[in-house]
Structures are given as C-alpha cells and as structure tokens.
A and B are shown apart, each in its own frame.
Chain A
Amino acid sequence: MKVSRTKGGGREVELAGPESALVRQVLESLNEAYQTAPGELDPMVANLWYGRAGLKEAGIRGEEAIHWIEGLHEVRLGRQSALDRWLNSLPTAGHAGLWNIAKEDLETLVATLNDHRLRRAGEFDLGEGDLEVKAMEKSKGDKRVALVEIHFLAWMIELLLQE
C-alpha cells in the first residue's frame, strides 16, 4: 500500500489485490453494522461505539441517555453515502489499483476505518497485550484474522494521516 496526497488535498491510495479485497470486505461489513440498532449489536462492540459509561454520573439518564445514543447511531448511519461512494471507487474486488479519496471525505474515512478496529477488538475482547504484533503472530483462527485487520487498518490510518 502506498498513499500520496493529491493536488486537491485528498489521497490517492495504491492498493495491491489482497489489500483492495480486504478494504472492500471491511467497508461492506461496516455498512451492515452501521445499520444495526445499537441494542442489537454484539454487546462488546456496542460498548465501544455506543457506550453508556459516564452518562449516569453526568446526569444524562432516561430519555436524554437514549437521545445521546441515538445521536451516535445517526452519525454512523450518516456515513452510508460515503461508504457507498468508497465501495464504488475501490478497485474491482481482489484487483490491484488506485483508490481516490476526496479531501472532504478524509476525516470520515479515518473515523470509519477506526470504527472497524474498535469493532474487531470488541468482538474478541482484545486488550493491550493482544494488540502487540508478536501476539498476532502467535494467534490463530478468527482472532488472527481480526488482528490482521486491526494492524492493516492501523497502517492505513497512519499513512492517510501522515501525507
């Protein structure tokens, strides 16, 4: 993967075939997860995306707390059109190619990719130790897949923010 800044301040992402396949899979699964009501998500994921920690202590209870969570869900639902746009502009499934991100989409893209990292970490209840590269090498099965995604997206976010 290679990322370069475009003249307009956007990003041009050069992806290898497996990388573009992975990004497509990530965006498609996020598309579905964003449409899922907070209460129907995996509780560990819901806790990371729509956590209620601290609301009660801040006096945000009942209807107000519901409104707070709904607001967080609406923001994620609002990323739908951007997700569709990115999926349409990604290289054909599994093929290498260039992926162009407009400057105005950059903030949302980075937040969206980060959401996937949070989601995968939540699904496997991953802590600091689990997230070390050494731990990924020792892990197996679905957990290993989750860790590969988490580390790949970390690399992608770093490159998008650096340029």
Chain B
Amino acid sequence: MQGGTTTTPEVAPGQETDLSEAFAKGWRVIVWNDPVNLMSYVVFVFMRVLGFNETKAQQHMLEVHEQGKSVVAIETREKAEFYCHRLQEFGLKSTLEAAAA
C-alpha cells in the first residue's frame, strides 16, 4: 500500500536475544538473611512489596532464616529490578540473578 506507514518495529540482527531476555521471566529476586531485620518485619515487607498472603510470606521468611536466602520472585528484568529496589527501600538485603545463572 502506497503512502502507508509501517508499524512493525525493525529489529537489527542480534537484538532479538536482548529483547527476548528482557521480556522473559528469567530474573530471580533473592532475599538474603541478615541478623537485624525482625521476622515479623520481613513478613510484613513481603506482603506489602510482593503482595504475598501471610502464609506465603511466612514460608519465604522461614526459608531466608533457615537456608540463608529465598527466591521471592522470578520475573522479567524490569519487574525484578522494581521488586529488588523496593525490598532494598525497606532495608532488606536483596539481589537480582539471571535464572540461567
């Protein structure tokens, strides 16, 4: 069709991998144990930030406490970064990790 505009984004060779990595739920959000944060506080933060119900928040808190860490979310890069940052805003020790790592 003449005069029409194309709406299909052009993807340069090599960019496909970056895009699929960014949108795939391939990023883990990990919360690490620390001696200061209270168990009840960690449960509260999990419920507020991650939207967990109390039972799920308790399970993850106990995992952090007993095993030293817990994977609290597996998400797209953007969302994982958001959760990780929010958890740090509350003083929890959290990191991001590629799921394949």
Contacts and interface: CB of A to CB of B under 8 A. Distances in A.
A48 interface: yes
Nearest to B45: A111
Nearest to A111: B90
A133 interface: no
Given A57-B97, A107-B48, A121-B35, A161 B40 contact: yes
Tell me the dominant secondary structure on chain A's binding face: helix
B93 A111 contact: no
Interface residues of A, number: 30
B28 to A, nearest CB: 10
Contacts of B48: 107
Contact of A68 (B37, B44, B85): B85
Tell me the dominant secondary structure on chain B's binding face: mixed
A58 B96 contact: yes
A158 B90 CA distance: 16
B44 to A, nearest CB: 5
A86 interface: no
Interface string A57-76: 11010000000100110010
8 contacts: A53-B95, A110-B41, A111-B90, A111-B91, A114-B91, A118-B37, A126-B35, A128-B35
Interface of B: 35-38, 40-41, 44, 48, 81, 84-85, 88-91, 93-98
Given A58-B98, A121-B35, 17 more contacts: A51-B88, A57-B97, A58-B97, A60-B96, A71-B85, A107-B48, A110-B41, A111-B89, A114-B38, A114-B41, A114-B91, A117-B37, A121-B36, A127-B35, A128-B35, A157-B38, A161-B40
